[in-house]
């Protein structure tokens, strides 16, 4: 290498003109590259072209990848810059994290201006109406809410709220989205909405207890439809109807959509049609919605809509509106360190995340985890970052088995699910994320047979180990929890040492699905289990069934066996 350099040096000494010519060409090429980069703007990616790398990956909170609907145009998002750290993360950069630092006002002002310019471009689908005060005890927008501490954007919040028929979408703290039909708070200064969106630094997503609120222009007419309301059934009118359903209105031209609209406007989650009267309220101990009647008893035609039923004075036809029941939405860490560690144990794919959602709503306390899953933390499971022995959470998620790990806990809720369903759910999670799906190539390839061979025995040994080594184990079958949520959740909350509030449990029933349920749109069109797999799994089911009965517990549910 040294000889080559010496030869080049001697050559250019003899030919200096060639040396300076090459140097000039090199500088000219560099100048052209610099000028080109200066004139070319940042690339833009439209919402319809975004892939998983653009901030909408398989781990989306709330409903997975939302389809663009109701006439909404795709938003334009800029590429993400360096990572922003909210108050939940420790900053590793020298960027000031306190709001009172010098120069903060100027940067806040410039960000607000950038956010305002972005809002003007979105006028065709949503109109920005201002910065508003929010209160954690009494929300400004009282409909559905969801969080994403990593990928929140203005468009995603607007689209989620529009999908559910809401008129307003509000963003707070850079990562929280709230929907509602009314804005019930005072205006705040624009400078107080100063936090950039976690998923797009070019837009503002509210501030600390401050909402950036948009009116969803193209959602206004479609929001008046009741198609998004959930039919709950026909029920006998409660004895104290004026207390159970406190708001009512006589309607001469009664129809389902008129009653649903009326209760939605009054911010109630239940809409009950009683002939010519529309009643609104919450599910309570006076009106639990647990004893359904034959729908023929409610089959009286509506005065304002010939092909609809509107119930009678004695039998009410009940719909659940899109108003979120906030009686069970508050959550916090335990005020004092827990004296006992309670496990929420399950085989992977058995519904542990869903059970955590239910427990948090029912108790008002965060659940923890033996592991750390950043995607779950970003979806609102704030106990995910705590060490599992911190004592600040009501129970601890774990998939562990084995004597040493099990004996670390003082008691446990053991969640068991049909192995055929659990194996498929875990396979989907492994290859598609918490609410995603494995590709057909994975099901048809070598991955699925290898997965079943490795995981099916674990399904059995997991249950057997917890029954053998667990100190105080409450067995809950996933299928029973789905079928009779109120009773099973009462049992679970009882083991946790929390006095179960009946109204809060009824509230949970209305919010039971959460955002952790896979869509049924991509179900397999064939049974992936071979006869050999079925034979092996059936043997494990019989083993677990025998073990449960030896512990004086009911065996596995009947629907495990038809296979």
Mind giving me the DSSP string for 250-297? E-TT--HHHHHHHHHHTT-SEEEEETTEEEEE--BTTB-S-S-B-GGG
Longest Cα pair distance anywhere in the chain, in angstroms?
110
407 and 288 inside one domain: no
How much is the average pLDDT of 172-177? 93
State pLDDT tens for residues 120-165: 444 456 889 999 999 888 888 887 788 888 889 998 898 888 776 6
153 and 293 inside one domain: no
138 and 265 inside one domain: no
Final residue belonging to a domain, choices 176, 195, 216: 216
410 and 521 inside one domain: yes
Report pLDDT for 124: 53
pLDDT at 342 over 70: yes
Q: How confident is the model at residue 326 (pLDDT cuts 50, 70, 90)?
A: confident
Residue 220 · residue 142 · CB < 8 Å? no
As a whole number of angstroms, the distance between CA 229 and CA 510 comes to 12
State pLDDT tens for residues 1-16: 666 766 766 776 666 7
54: in domain: no
More confident residue, 63 or 509: 509
% of the chain with per-residue pLDDT over 70: 75
pLDDT at 206 over 70: yes
410: in domain: yes
Q: What pTM does this model have?
A: 0.61
Residue 466 · residue 339 · CB < 8 Å? no
Looking at residue 425, which CATH number applies to its domain?
3.40.50.300
Lowest mean pLDDT among 76-90, 189-203, 412-426: 76-90
204 forms bridges with which residues in the sheet? 196
Residue 154 · residue 200 · CB < 8 Å? yes
Report pLDDT for 223: 38
Report pLDDT for 492: 95
How far is the first Cα of the chain from the last one, in angstroms, to the nearest whole number? Answer: 73
532 and 426 inside one domain: yes
pLDDT at 322 over 50: yes
Lowest mean pLDDT among 134-148, 188-202, 279-293: 134-148
As a whole number of angstroms, the distance between CA 21 and CA 146 comes to 63
Residue 400 · residue 370 · CB < 8 Å? yes
Q: Which domain holds residue 238?
A: 225-320
Q: How confident is the model at residue 236 (pLDDT cuts 50, 70, 90)?
A: very high
15: in domain: no
Residue 335 · residue 289 · CB < 8 Å? no
Sheet holding 145-147, edge to edge: 127-133, 210-215, 168-172, 176-180, 145-147
448: in domain: yes
Final residue belonging to a domain, choices 216, 234, 255: 216
As a whole number of angstroms, the distance between CA 141 and CA 133 comes to 11
Cα angle 294, 296, 301 (rounded to 5 degrees) comes to 140
Distances (CA, A) of 324 to 131, 133, 268: 22, 20, 8
pLDDT at 455 over 80: yes
102: in domain: no
As a whole number of angstroms, the distance between CA 514 and CA 358 comes to 8
State pLDDT tens for residues 515-563: 555 544 456 667 899 999 999 999 999 999 999 999 999 899 888 875 4
12: in domain: no
Mean pLDDT, rounded, of the chain:
78
More confident residue, 74 or 19: 19
238 and 348 inside one domain: no
23: in domain: no
Indicate the pairing of strand 45-46 with strand 411-416: unpaired
% of the chain with per-residue pLDDT over 90: 46
Tokens of residue 265, six digits = 């406007």
Report pLDDT for 525: 67
Distances (CA, A) of 292 to 234, 238, 275, 316, 479: 6, 12, 18, 10, 20
How much is the average pLDDT of 309-318? 92
346 and 440 inside one domain: yes
Tokens of residue 14, six digits = 């003899």
As a whole number of angstroms, the distance between CA 267 and CA 325 comes to 9
Question: CA 100, 147, 202, 209 torsion: positive or negative?
Answer: negative
198 and 150 inside one domain: yes
Tokens of residue 223, six digits = 């929001």
Domain count, the chain: 3
404 and 460 inside one domain: yes
Report pLDDT for 329: 87
381 and 528 inside one domain: yes
Angle of helix 502-510 versus helix 352-363 axis, rounded to 10: 140
Mind giving me the DSSP string for 145-176? EEE-TTT--HHHHHHHHHHTT-SEEEEETTTE
pLDDT at 503 over 50: yes
Residue 58 · residue 52 · CB < 8 Å? yes
Tokens of residue 561, six digits = 């066996």
Report pLDDT for 100: 36
Q: How many CB atoms lie within 10 A of CB 14?
A: 8
As a whole number of angstroms, the distance between CA 45 and CA 432 comes to 24
Q: What phi and psi, each to the nearest 5 degrees, are found at residue 430? A: -65, -40
209 and 312 inside one domain: no
State pLDDT tens for residues 56-114: 333 323 323 333 232 333 333 333 333 222 323 333 333 333 333 333 334 444 444 44
533 and 391 inside one domain: yes
Mind giving me the DSSP string for 478-544? HHHHHHSHHHHHHHHHHHTT----HHHHHHHHHTTTTT----GGG--SS----HHHHHHHHHHHHHH
């Amino acid at each position: 290498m040294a000889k080559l350099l010496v030869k080049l040096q001697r050559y250019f000494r003899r030919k200096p003109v060639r040396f300076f010519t090459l140097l000039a060409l090199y500088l000219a090429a560099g100048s052209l590259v610099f000028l080109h980069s200066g004139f070319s703007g940042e690339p833009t990616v439209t919402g319809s072209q975004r892939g998983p790398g653009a901030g909408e990956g398989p781990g989306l909170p709330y409903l997975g990848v939302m389809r663009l609907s109701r006439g909404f145009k795709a938003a334009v998002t800029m590429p993400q810059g360096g990572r922003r750290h909210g108050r939940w993360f420790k900053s590793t950069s020298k960027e000031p994290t306190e709001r009172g630092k010098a120069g903060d006002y100027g940067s806040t002002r410039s960000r607000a201006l950038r956010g305002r310019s972005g809002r003007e471009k979105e006028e065709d689908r949503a109109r920005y109406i201002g910065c508003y005060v929010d209160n954690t005890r009494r929300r400004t927008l009282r409909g559905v809410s969801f969080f994403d501490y990593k990928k929140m954007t203005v468009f995603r919040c607007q689209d989620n709220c529009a999908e559910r028929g809401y008129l307003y979408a509000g963003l707070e703290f850079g990562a929280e989205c709230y929907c509602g039909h009314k804005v019930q708070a005072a205006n705040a200064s624009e400078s107080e909405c100063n936090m950039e969106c976690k998923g797009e630094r070019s837009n503002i997503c509210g501030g600390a207890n401050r909402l950036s609120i948009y009116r969803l222009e193209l959602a206004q007419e479609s929001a008046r439809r009741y198609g998004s309301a959930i039919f709950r059934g026909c029920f006998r009118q409660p004895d104290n109807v004026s207390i159970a359903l406190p708001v009512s209105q006589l309607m001469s031209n009664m129809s389902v959509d008129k009653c649903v609209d009326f209760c939605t406007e009054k911010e109630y989650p239940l809409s009950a049609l009683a002939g010519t009267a529309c009643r609104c309220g919450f599910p309570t101990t006076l009106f639990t919605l647990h004893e359904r009647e034959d729908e023929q008893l409610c089959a009286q035609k509506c005065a304002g809509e010939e092909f609809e039923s509107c119930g009678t004075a004695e039998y009410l036809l009940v719909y659940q509106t899109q108003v979120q029941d906030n009686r069970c939405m508050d959550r916090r860490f335990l005020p004092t360190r827990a004296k006992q560690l309670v496990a929420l144990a399950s085989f992977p794919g058995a519904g542990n995340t869903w059970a955590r959602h239910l427990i948090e709503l029912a108790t008002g306390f965060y659940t923890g985890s033996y592991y750390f899953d950043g995607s779950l933390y970003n979806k609102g499971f704030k106990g995910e970052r705590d060490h599992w022995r911190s004592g600040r959470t009501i129970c601890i998620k774990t998939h562990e088995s084995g004597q040493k790990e099990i004996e670390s806990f003082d008691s446990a809720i053991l969640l068991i699910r049909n192995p055929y369903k659990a194996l498929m759910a875990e396979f989907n999670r492994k290859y598609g994320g918490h609410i995603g799906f494995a590709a057909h190539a994975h099901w048809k390839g070598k991955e699925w047979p290898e997965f079943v061979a490795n995981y099916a025995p674990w399904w059995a040994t997991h249950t057997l180990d917890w029954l053998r080594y667990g100190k105080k184990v409450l067995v809950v079958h996933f299928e029973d929890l789905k079928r009779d949520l109120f009773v099973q959740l009462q049992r679970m909350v009882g083991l946790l040492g929390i006095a179960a509030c009946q109204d809060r449990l009824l509230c949970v029933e209305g919010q039971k699905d959460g955002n952790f349920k896979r869509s049924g749109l991509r179900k397999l069109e064939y049974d992936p289990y071979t006869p050999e797999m079925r034979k092996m799994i059936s043997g494990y089911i019989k083993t677990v069934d025998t073990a449960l009965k030896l512990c004086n517990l009911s065996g596995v549910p009947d629907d495990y066996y038809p296979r």
